[in-house]
Structure 1
Amino acid sequence: MAIPQLGRPVGANGEETRARIIAATMHCVAEVGYARTTIREIARTAGITSANLYNYFPNKSELMTAAIAARAELALPRLRAAAQGPGNAVDRIDAVLDESGRLMREYPELAAFEWAIRGQSVVAVYPDSAGDGGFQALREIVKGVVDDAYPNGGALRDAAVEAIYALVYGLTELAATQSPQTYQRALNSAKQMIRGTLFVHP
């Protein structure tokens, strides 16, 4: 994600300014965390005044909600498309993990932003259409793939969903806190574990 340049571009319209504010929010939260991010710093990074920012977002909570929604709008369609690709359940989980890796490479601040706001109970990292908090939308993507491997449901299906959910959670932490090389090694290991053991039936 490009860091907005200081100074509002000539002819910038309201939607462009709003997008700059959201990008600045993600950048600031990724850099210093949710609690230490201030409206003043977001406005400075976006190249506008605090007063101008308040014309778009009346408070920090609504600004964070918009930033999280923008993150979900970017990531979820790509993850859903990967989950609906060809192959068996393992192939499709591989595809979801690979697509997640591409997102981390293309938008390196997204992982740090997501990790910074996960501890805030007032926000949902992946809001879905029903308004459920947390990772409900991502969990449903994973569950939809795993259901094909365990059509009868049950404890094995539920355990597989939770294991993959935990892997994605941990991989995001690595992407936010470690080098790209460390993240890629962990991603490759996770894929090998899933392919080698997670879907082997007794």
Structure 2
Amino acid sequence: MAGQVRRGRPAGVDGEQTRRRIMAVALEHVSATGYGNATMKSIAERAGLTGAAIYRYFPSKQALVSAVLGEAVDDIMRRLDEATRIQGSLRERFVAFMEEAIASARDHPSVLRLHEVIQLEAGRHPEFLEVVQARQVAEEKLYGRLIEDAVSAGELPAGVDHRAITDMLLAIVWGLTHLAAVAPPDRHAAAVRQVEQLLATGSLLPRGE
């Protein structure tokens, strides 16, 4: 009938679903096989596309992997940022951060493995440095907020070395991130709990010993 409105899926819905499927496949495939062993053809096949069709969504493997990791890291950092927006001391808020880090590691094990892969590849593919550095900048901003709040609350002296504390926290968290990527979840959780114990008591010994 002339003038009849055709009902159906909104324009772009199928394309976005395909894009999401490609990214999900790439995350699992590259994190499992390594960047060098993964190809756009192999990713396309796993996503149910032809080797040529995948390039309509991503111009290269580097662009695809950068998009996958960038989006995943943004989601994890959002969760970590929200976890620290509680009332409490600097220690309590950092513990909340690490507890959310355990949850994120369990929810996104492939992301952590992919992050390790990309760090290794960054020397050969400098464009990956942007993704890695974006995570560091986001973390530094989060830690800076926690430190400034602690200074305002009188927990830390006004002249405290913000850079040194931030670097210490980065070292702890990136070390735990590496462990989460290469070790079973229970080992990662146990290591996080040990850091929490150290923050709470100043000792690696269990309370009361």
Instruction: Give me the TM-score of the superposition, normalised by structure 1.
Output: 0.81
**Corresponding residue for 1:21?**
22
Conserved in 2, the CA contact under 8 Å of 1:78 and 1:99?
Answer: yes
What RMSD over aligned residues (CA atoms) do the two structures have, in Å? 2.1
**Corresponding residue for 1:88?**
89
Residue 165 of structure 1: how far off its partner (Å): 0.7
Residue 147 of structure 1: how far off its partner (Å): 2.4
- Percent of paired sites with the same residue: 27
**Corresponding residue for 2:182?**
177
Decide which of 160, 173, 177 is 1:154's aligned counterpart.
Answer: 160
Q: Identify which range, 91-100 or 70-79, moves more after superposition.
A: 70-79
Instruction: Output the CA distance in 1 between the equivalents of 2:39 and 2:200.
Output: 44
Decide which of 186, 192, 199 is 2:191's aligned counterpart.
Answer: 186
Conserved in 1, the CA contact under 8 Å of 2:112 and 2:177?
Answer: yes
Instruction: Output the CA distance in 1 between the equivalents of 2:25 and 2:113.
Output: 13
Instruction: Output the CA distance in 2 between the equivalents of 1:85 and 1:65.
Output: 32
**Corresponding residue for 1:4?**
none
Secondary structure of the residue aligned to 2:59 is coil
Conserved in 1, the CA contact under 8 Å of 2:69 and 2:111?
Answer: no
CA spacing shift, 1:180–1:37, aligned 2, 3 Å: same
| Aligned length in residues | 182
Secondary structure of the residue aligned to 1:139 is helix
Instruction: Output the CA distance in 2 between the equivalents of 1:153 and 1:48.
Output: 58
5+ residue gaps, structure 1, are: 1-11
**Corresponding residue for 1:61?**
62
Secondary structure of the residue aligned to 2:187 is helix
Residue 135 of structure 1: how far off its partner (Å): 1.1
Instruction: Give me the TM-score of the superposition, normalised by structure 2.
Output: 0.79
Conserved in 1, the CA contact under 8 Å of 2:81 and 2:142?
Answer: yes
Instruction: Output the CA distance in 2 between the equivalents of 1:154 and 1:126.
Output: 30
Give per-residue Cα distances to partners, 1:140-177, cap 9 Å, x unaligned.
Answer: 1122112223452432x332211111111111111111
The amino acid across from 1:110 in the alignment is V
Give per-residue Cα distances to partners, 1:9-46, cap 9 Å, x unaligned.
Answer: xxx71111100111111112210222222111211222
5+ residue gaps, structure 2, are: 1-12, 153-157, 204-209
CA spacing shift, 1:153–1:24, aligned 2, 3 Å: farther
Residue 126 of structure 1: how far off its partner (Å): 5.2
Secondary structure of the residue aligned to 2:38 is coil
Instruction: Output the CA distance in 2 between the equivalents of 1:33 and 1:125.
Output: 19
Secondary structure of the residue aligned to 2:172 is helix
CA spacing shift, 1:101–1:46, aligned 2, 3 Å: same
Instruction: Output the CA distance in 1 between the equivalents of 2:134 and 2:79.
Output: 20
